[in-house]
Amino acid sequence: MRKIEFTVSPEEAGDRLDAFLARHVPESSRTFLQKLIREGNVLIDGGKAAAPRTPLKAGMRLTVGMPDFSAPAPPAAEPFAFPILYEDEVMLVIDKPAGVVVHPAVGNPSGTVLNALLSRAPELAADLASNSRPGIVHRLDKDTSGCLVTAKTPDAQFRLGRLFADRKVSKTYLALVRGVPARRSGEIVTLIGRHPVNRQKMAVVERNGREAVTFYETVASGSAEGVPFSLLKVRIATGRTHQIRVHMNHLGHPVLGDQLYGGAGSWGAGAERQMLHAWRLELPHPVTGAPCVFVSPLPEDFRKFLDFLPPELLSGLN
């Protein structure tokens, strides 16, 4: 029997244990995973999990004893070619391009940030036996660009993970959304949970969800190809899966190019992917505690929209 480990991210806090494992071990059925839990083969922070429906908290370490018959090959180190925003002995902050997956999963076995990180920080390779995602402390969706902080040592991964779990990291995004919000700024507070029909999606729900808090501010509005749109600064006080995309659609202004949540209503204006950019990241250094601020330059596909916006309103974004 082999062991695999996971750390619950802030976005996954509140998920049921069996649902979490079904998402992270997609080659196994939920029934099989529930059986493993009941037989005591799943540990939470070193103790046996009580039941499949156990709610998870950010920072929990899960250890799963899996039969050896389907052991996947560990991720291989691949050339590192990402723009670097900051690097020291323990931490690496990259400017993740859109279209890049953070860690290997079904359908994306290579070409990920993790593969590249293994070549940049070889010490992490020794952690692969007990950690399926060495160095990864938070995620961005495949088509979201911008600031991504990673750890170069197992200790730094633990320290950074705690900063995220304790909400000591401030994340500000830039989002291009369809239409113009009625209120220039606002706060969106809802429950977010798994979509009742499409299990690949999250949704605003009335019960069985986790509180999600999003603040937005309209920077400027314009029109491209006859489609009205707005540039928003978005700050999230919680980190639920797909939170900004779900909340913008709930507001009636889906992120441009977001097919999953906005559907046909998100297209137009020349968007070729979901126009969401992790612009600014603030956190204490995981070792020294010194305040760190990282800013990702706007990618080219974002910049082309700025030509349709009043330039005097865009100061401070570049």
Q: Domain 2-70 is classified in which CATH homologous superfamily?
A: RNA-binding S4 domain (3.10.290.10)
pLDDT digits (tens, 9 = 90+) for 253-265: 999 999 899 887 6
pLDDT score of 196: 83
So what's the architecture of 171-281+288-313 in CATH? 2-Layer Sandwich (3.30)
Burial 53-76 (b: 16+ CB within 10 A, else e): ebebebbbbbbbebeeeeeeeebe
Model pLDDT for residues 240-253, shown as the tens digit of each residue: 999 999 999 999 99
Q: How far apart are the first and last CA of the chain?
A: 51
Residue of 15, 95, 141, 143 with catalytic role: 141
> How many C-beta neighbours within 10 Å does residue 181 have?
18
The pLDDT score that the predictor gives to residue 178 is 95
Model-level pTM?
0.77
The closest of 35, 19, 43 to 195, measured between CA atoms, is 19
Distance CA 157, CA 151 (A): 5
Q: Which pLDDT belongs to residue 75?
A: 87
**Is residue 307 annotated as part of the catalytic site, yes or no?**
no
Read off the pLDDT of residues 180-224 as tens digits, 9 standing for 90 and up: 999 999 999 999 998 887 877 899 999 889 999 999 999 999 998
| pLDDT mean across residues, the chain | 91
- So what's the pLDDT on residue 129? 76
pLDDT for the residue 68: 63
According to the CATH classification, is domain 84-166 in 3.60.21.10? no
In CATH terms, are 2-70 and 84-166 the same topology? no
Do the beta carbons of residue 276 and residue 294 sit within 8 Å? no
The pLDDT confidence band at residue 317, using thresholds 50, 70 and 90, is confident
Amino acid 318: pLDDT:
63
Structural domain boundaries in the chain? 2-70, 84-166, 171-281+288-313
